[in-house]
């Protein structure tokens, strides 16, 4: 009994499938669409597409002005796009996303003044297209050719070079070539552009060929990646059949396979129906087919029909600002419009979804005429979301959502893809403030009401805030004591002080504790919303009252004064006001001294105003400090007398 194993990676890659599906869809719309070069290296598919109206043109001049044109997955040069624009053609771009990425690399690197080296087949359309996005690219097909021709390039060892590879390049050849270039050039940037699907396909072919007596490689002889699969298989397996379809599989070949372990692989341009046809022809009563479950499912999926409401899982193949293209493994092209990705208006599709991601969606519309399927991701999210929302209400757990709109009654949030209405009274925003401040913010809330029939969900931010505050308050009351220090926020002001939230509990700073100087209102020192550092000066746990201090001893003006001055020192003071018995002068902010009228001048004066003016700065001697009464005596006359004595 023979054992036949079909490679999981055999057949269309998503880039080829996307190009074929785009050709089918646009041919149906335009009746005729021109493919610039063969859309796929597979004669059978070319014939099938030709019957649908897809015409192959090898030269730009073969395409009429104003025609619909398809750019195949291999991609083209920048000049080709310009030529079609000049001809007024409508261009449908099916360039593989991995090839487009290489175009961006070489364009940017070349513009930065770096020399581009491309590893790949010189005449392959993909390589020709890549070279058309940069200046004077050097192309090497093998590591041997690289060694032979590199010296002739004339590139100095310090030349800045950037290296890319054809997406279907053999990994071993790439590794050897990169090693050579790194040794030769000191300023070398490497961009590993070999397609992961190609890597996996070749890796699987290598593994399968190594454990099989015979390999069957299916694909067009013009297909570059199929040729490489054949080369890999031939290097590891004693017998390899290289066929394009089931008609090339002779009865004698099938007979010769009896009792052998056989592996089947296929190039990226080989459609699933050809692989299935070959595997079916190889089956006999005494032949056992081992087909990977995923691949077997793919074959069946390619013939499957879709219906509205079906839940499907696919792979993202391209992301644009308007839609996400999805590979479902069927002949239809699937799209998710951005409007069907999420209800969140701030949702950025290009930031949240990448090519290669697996995505779940619901079929919204199937158009067999155009060969398209419209999907909705947000409907899947909503179905799952309702379950999450109901569980959150049942278990009284908080959920997180983004506020997306404001209305007269409150705000609307999106949580798990479901709209949740939060009444104004439950937003936590004071009546005098605008709820617009919540827009586009993430908020945590409880689900308080659900009506599945009316699709109505009500939530409360306030309840969460209350519970958080209550828990914080309990923690504060457990640990608070006189002298405890807190970082708080000023919540409100009155004529006699400021109320401060110290983490779920409010305390009051009396106006006398706000400043060392005299103030008429707390607003002279703090404002609502200010962060403040406070300490507990009195505590009444029974009545839940806390008195807070804000003034710091290190800021006490008297301490500053006594630290810097003593009796006998001279200070520059500022005259503040006059009294019948003398003048008061500021020594440091918050500390005044008295200059008695007898200490103002060295001769008798009737009033202080005769010798001084308000605001005047004068030199005065400190003649007395009363720590108990916090009073300072100053003398200008003492300095005058001291000066005379010195003379």
Which positions are annotated as active-site residues?
Answer: 126
**Rounded to a whole number, what is the distance in angstroms from the first to the last CA of the chain?**
131
Strand order in the sheet with 2-6: 240-243, 214-218, 261-266, 2-6, 287-291
- Count of residues for the chain? 647
Question: Among 199, 225, 204, which Cα is nearest to 215's?
Answer: 204
CA distance 96 to 98: 5
Question: Among 466, 418, 465, which Cα is nearest to 443's?
Answer: 465
Tell me, what DSSP letter sits at residue 346? Answer: T
What radius of gyration, in Å, describes the C-alpha atoms of the chain?
42
CA distance 275 to 44: 12
Q: Coil, strand, or helix at residue 302?
A: coil
CA distance 488 to 507: 9
> Beta-strand (E) ranges in 127-171?
138-140, 161-165
CA distance 527 to 531: 9
CA distance 392 to 399: 7
Q: Which helix (H) or strand (E) holds 202?
A: helix 196-210
Question: Among 501, 424, 419, which Cα is nearest to 461's?
Answer: 424
CA distance 359 to 355: 10
> Beta-strand (E) ranges in 43-195?
54-57, 68-71, 90-93, 115-119, 138-140, 161-165, 188-190
CA distance 39 to 72: 5
517 alpha carbon, distance to own chain's centre: 52
CA distance 372 to 24: 10
Count other C-beta atoms under 10 Å from residue 387's C-beta.
Answer: 11
Q: Which helix (H) or strand (E) holds 630?
A: none
């Amino acid at each position: 009994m023979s054992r036949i194993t079909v490679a999981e990676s055999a057949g269309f890659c998503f880039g080829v499938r996307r190009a074929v599906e785009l050709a089918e869809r646009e041919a149906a719309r335009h009746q005729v669409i021109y493919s610039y070069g063969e859309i796929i290296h597979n004669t059978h598919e070319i014939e099938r597409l030709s019957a649908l109206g897809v015409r192959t043109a090898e030269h730009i001049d073969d395409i009429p002005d104003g025609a619909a044109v398809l750019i195949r997955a291999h991609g083209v040069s920048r000049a080709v796009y310009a030529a079609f624009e000049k001809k007024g053609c409508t261009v449908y771009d099916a360039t593989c996303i991995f090839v487009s990425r290489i175009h961006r690399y070489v364009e940017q690197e070349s513009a930065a003044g770096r020399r581009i080296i491309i590893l790949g087949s010189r005449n392959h359309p993909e390589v020709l297209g890549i070279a058309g996005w940069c200046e004077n690219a050097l192309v090497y097909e093998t590591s041997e050719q690289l060694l032979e021709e590199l010296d002739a390039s004339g590139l100095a060892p310090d030349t800045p070079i950037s290296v890319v590879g054809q997406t279907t390049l053999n990994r071993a050849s790439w590794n050897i070539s990169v090693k050579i270039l790194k040794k030769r050039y000191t300023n070398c940037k490497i961009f590993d552009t070999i397609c992961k699907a190609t890597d996996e396909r070749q890796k699987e072919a290598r593994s399968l060929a190594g454990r099989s007596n015979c390999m069957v490689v299916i694909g067009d002889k013009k297909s570059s990646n199929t040729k490489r699969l054949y080369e890999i298989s031939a290097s590891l397996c004693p017998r390899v059949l290289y066929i394009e379809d089931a008609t090339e599989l002779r009865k004698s070949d099938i007979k010769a396979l009896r009792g052998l372990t056989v592996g089947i692989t296929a190039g990226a341009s080989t459609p699933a129906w050809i692989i299935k046809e070959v595997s079916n022809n190889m089956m006999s009563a005494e032949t056992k087919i081992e087909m990977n479950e995923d691949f077997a499912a793919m074959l069946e999926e390619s013939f499957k029909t879709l219906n509205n409401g079906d839940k499907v899982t696919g792979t993202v193949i391209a992301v644009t600002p308007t839609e996400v293209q999805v590979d479902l493994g069927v002949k239809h092209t699937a799209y998710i419009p951005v409007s069907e990705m999420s209800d969140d208006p701030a949702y950025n599709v290009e930031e949240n979804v990448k090519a290669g991601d697996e995505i779940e969606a619901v079929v919204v519309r199937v158009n067999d005429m155009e060969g398209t399927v419209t999907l909705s991701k947000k409907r899947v999210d909503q179905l799952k979301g309702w379950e999450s929302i109901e569980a959150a209400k049942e278990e009284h757990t908080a959920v997180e959502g983004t506020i997306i709109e404001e209305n007269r009654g409150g705000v609307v949030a999106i949580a798990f893809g479901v709209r949740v209405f939060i009444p104004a009274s439950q937003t936590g925003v004071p009546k005098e403030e605008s709820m617009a401040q919540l827009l586009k913010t993430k908020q945590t809330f409880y689900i308080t009401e659900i009506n599945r029939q009316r699709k109505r969900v009500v939530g409360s931010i306030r309840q969460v805030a209350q519970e958080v505050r209550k828990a914080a308050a309990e923690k504060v009351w457990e640990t608070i004591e006189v002298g405890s220090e807190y970082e708080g926020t000023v919540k409100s002001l009155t004529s006699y002080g400021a109320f401060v939230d110290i983490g779920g509990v409010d305390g009051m700073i009396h106006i006398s504790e706000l400043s060392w100087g005299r103030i008429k209102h707390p607003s002279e020192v703090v404002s609502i919303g200010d962060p403040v550092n406070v300490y507990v000066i009195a505590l009444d746990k029974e009545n839940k009252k806390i008195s807070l201090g804000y003034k710091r001893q290190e800021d006490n003006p008297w301490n500053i004064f006594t630290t810097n001055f003593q009796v006998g020192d001279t200070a520059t003071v500022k005259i503040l006001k006059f009294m019948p018995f003398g003048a008061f002068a500021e020594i440091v902010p918050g500390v005044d001294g008295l200059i008695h009228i007898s200490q103002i001048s060295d001769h008798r004066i009737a009033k202080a105003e005769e010798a001084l003016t308000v605001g005047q700065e004068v030199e005065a001697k400190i003649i007395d400090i009363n720590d108990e009464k916090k009073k300072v005596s100053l003398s200008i006359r003492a300095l005058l007398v001291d000066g005379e004595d010195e003379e």
